[in-house]
Each structure stands twice: as structure tokens, then as C-alpha cells.
Amino acid sequence: MATPTFTQPGILLIDKLPERTSHDVVSRLRRILSTKRVGHAGTLDPMATGLLVMGINGATRLLTFLVGLDKTYTATIRLGESTTTDDAEGEPLGPAPREQLARVSDADIAAGVSTLTGDIMQVPSSVSAIKVDGKRAYTRVREGEAPVLHPRPVIVSRFDVAQIRRADTAIDVDVVVDCSSGTYIRALARDLGFRLGVGGHLASLRRTRVGPFDIAEALVLDDSLEAGEATARTTFALRDPADVAARIFATWNLTAEEEVHLRHGRAAALATPGEGRYAAISAEGRLIGLVDASASGVRILFNMSQESP
């Protein structure tokens, strides 16, 4: 007998394990929940751990509006050697002379971090997923090309040094970073090493927050879980789309008439609730859709009329 398809929409917070790709997490959730409709609101590199925001079934439509949330990372930057990928998975490009590394003081590190804090222009890593003439930069690198990536504005609202650990051949700097979506922590490591004249790369990375969602809320799906237990834990951890949307956007509690208009896409029949983006919630507490409202009227970004049970 075929396994019934899981149809409930929801958002999952997953604590990704090391050496797993974000696609690995998608594939496992598809197997656990017996549904193909699984997505995520922003990848993590295989070496990284931490928070992935996953959408299930109809809630995948909400992910587009979660991708741009700001994020928090804890990381270790290793000063003293650059790599081809700006992280520990790349090929080393040669160590800095020990005497040069020894001259880098804690004050120098703090000054370098300061220059990388605030509204900055950042050149993404050459192995990023940014498209260059229609092809991912990392694909061009694998094909032997050297893609030219242009600086982009990002916001690093916090770049705190938690600890500095010194050895003869390297300085490990543990940091906490709050940043806008699209900020590359690998690039911060690279640029800090460049500013200090000794090279640098990202030795470890963990994402601990996405918008209002914290790693403490996330589910760990380790390999030791049997299929039934994994399904039970995952289903229990599934968050209602209305609850998730209400943590990010203002809420608009719909009347029965307004709900009918929104479900049928009749934006012109809706009176604006006030300027801004709203999660439109039914009287039963279900997410009906997401809208932008202004003085000129309501624009429907999406509705879940065919998605909610």
C-alpha cells in the first residue's frame, strides 16, 4: 500500500548538522513527510551548522518573504592563511610569515573588525551562488574560470570579537555577527585577513538566528532517529503558517466577507487596513494570504485559498 501524502502546510526550524547540504535536509524531509513540496528560506554551506527555515506544502509560498530576514552567526575566523574558497574547505594559498603574524595585535584585530562593521560594500566569495552572466559563480570556478564579482551593499550591524586564540601559525578569532541577508561571512573573514596583511579564511560557521527565529527553537534530525520517530518529531515541530507570519508581519484579522474576497483574489473589494504588509488571518486563525496595503488599495502578494486544509 502506498504511503499517504502529507498535505498539512507549515514551517519547520531545523538545526542543520555539519557535512550536510541544505538539499540533504530537503531530501530527508521529503522522505519523512512523504511530500515533494519542501523548500528552504536560504541555504547553509555543508561545513556550516545551524538554523534552516523550511517550508512544507502550501507554506513554501511564504518562504519567498522570509529569505530577506536578517541573521545572526557565530564563527571562527582563522588569520594567517587564505584559501581558494575563503573557508576551510578550500585549498590553502600559503601561510603568512610567523613574524608577520606575531605583529598582529588584539587592537589591530579590533580595528580591522571595525572597518567591516556597519553599511559596507562587500565583494562576495568567488564560490558563491551569485549568477554571473546566467551561471552560478561556483560553477564557473569549477570550470576553471575566474568570475568577476562586483561589490554589493550589505549591513553588518554587529561584529563582536568574543575570543582570540593564538598559535605560532594562526590566530583564531571567535566572532558573533548580526547582518543583513546576502552578507557572506566567508568574505568578512577574507577581508579581515587582507586588512591585517596576513590572509584569513572562515574556519567554522553556525547560524543561530533568522529574523525572530532562534536556534533554540530548532529541531535536530540526527541519523540515529528511526523513521517513525523522525516523522513524529517533525510533525509535532511543524509551525502553523499563521503563527509564523504573525511573528514577522502586522496581522489583519479578516471578517468573513473580507476572507471570501481575498480567497477569490478580489483585491479591489478590500478596504485597506492601513499602510504596510499584512498577514491576513481568518476568524478561525488560518493564514489566508499576505498583502501590501497603501492609500491606493490592497495588493495581494499571495493567498493560500487552495493550500490550507
Domain holding 296: CATH number? Answer: 2.30.130.10
Q: Is the dihedral of CA 55, 57, 59, 60 positive or negative?
A: positive
In this prediction the pTM is 0.91
Q: Which of 9-13, 227-231, 285-289 has the lowest mean pLDDT?
A: 227-231
Boundary residue ending a domain (158, 187, 208): 208
Q: Ranked by mean pLDDT, which of 17-21, 91-95, 248-252 comes out on top?
A: 248-252
Q: So what's the pLDDT on residue 134?
A: 63
Q: Identify the pLDDT of residue 309.
A: 43
| pLDDT of residue 54 exceeding 80 | yes
Same domain membership, residue 219 and residue 193: no
Is residue 94 assigned to a domain? yes
Is the model's pLDDT at 266 over the cut of 70? yes
Residue 3 covered by a domain: no
Contacts of 44 (CB under 8 A, 6+ apart): 16, 22, 50, 52, 205, 207
Least confident residue range of 78-82, 105-109, 182-186, 232-236: 232-236
Q: In terms of domains, do 41 and 61 share one?
A: yes
For residue 222, count CB atoms less than 10 angstroms from its CB and return exposed for 0-12, middle for 13-18, buried for 19 or more: exposed
- Please give the span between the terminal C-alpha atoms of the chain, in angstroms, as a whole number: 24
In this structure, are 281 and 298 located in the same domain? yes
CATH code of the domain containing 104: 3.30.2350.10
Q: What's the pLDDT at 304?
A: 84
For the chain, the domain total comes to: 3
Q: What is the pLDDT of residue 80?
A: 97
Computed over every residue of the chain, the mean pLDDT equals 90
Residues 204 and 226 in one domain: no
Residue 75, domain member (yes or no): yes
Residue 118 lies in a domain: yes
Residue 4 within any structural domain of the chain? no
56-102 residue pLDDT tens: 999 999 999 999 999 999 999 999 999 988 999 888 999 999 999 99
CB 169 within 8 A of CB 98: yes
Q: Does residue 1 lie within any of the structural domains?
A: no
pLDDT confidence of residue 308? 43
Asked, for residue 257, whether it belongs to a domain, the answer is yes
Q: Grid coordinates 513524529 are at which residue?
A: 232
Cα 226 from chain centre: 28
Closest CA to 74 of 241, 225, 189: 189
Same domain, 95 and 201: yes
pLDDT recorded at residue 211: 96
- Judge whether residue 289 has pLDDT over 70: yes
Is 103 inside a domain boundary?
A: yes
pLDDT level of residue 283 (50, 70, 90 thresholds): very high
64 and 130 in a single domain? The answer is no
According to DSSP H, which parts of the chain are helical? 22-33, 60-63, 98-102, 106-115, 137-142, 185-196, 227-237, 241-248, 256-263
**61, 79: one domain:** no
Chain segment 143-163, per-residue pLDDT in tens: 566 667 789 999 999 999 999
- The pLDDT of residue 53 is above 60: yes
Same-domain check for residues 41 and 148? no
Does the annotation count 106 as an active-site position? no
Interaxial angle between packed helices 185-196 and 106-115, expressed in degrees from 0 to 180 and rounded to the nearest 10 = 130
C-alpha to C-alpha distance for 216 and 15, rounded to whole angstroms: 9
Cβ-count burial 19-45 (b if 16+ within 10 Å, e if not): ebebeebbebbeebbebebbbbbbebb
- On the 0-12 / 13-18 / 19+ scale of CB atoms within 10 A, 136 is middle
**Do 155 and 168 contact (CB within 8 A), yes or no?**
no
| Residues 119 and 220 reside in one and the same domain | no
**Are both 57 and 171 inside the same structural domain?**
no
Do residues 116 and 107 lie in contact, with contact meaning Cβ atoms separated by under 8 Å?
no
Give the number of residues written for the chain.
Answer: 309
Q: Of residues 15, 24, 45, 168, which has the active-site annotation?
A: 45
Grade residue 37 by pLDDT with cuts at 50, 70 and 90.
very high
Model pLDDT, residue 307:
47
Q: Work out the pLDDT band at 238, boundaries 50, 70, 90.
A: very high
166: nearest Cα among 281, 244, 293, 80: 80
Residues 200 and 83 in one domain: yes
Instruction: Tell me what pLDDT residue 153 has.
Output: 96
Q: Residues 193-211: what's their mean pLDDT?
A: 97
Query: With 90 as the cut, is the pLDDT of residue 223 above it?
Result: no
Asked if the model's pLDDT at residue 216 lies above 70, the reply is yes
CB atoms < 10 A from the CB of 255, how many? 10
Range of the domain at 62: 10-68+212-239
Domain identity same for 28 and 47: yes
Tell me the pLDDT band of 247, cut-offs 50, 70 and 90. very high
The DSSP symbol for 96 reads P
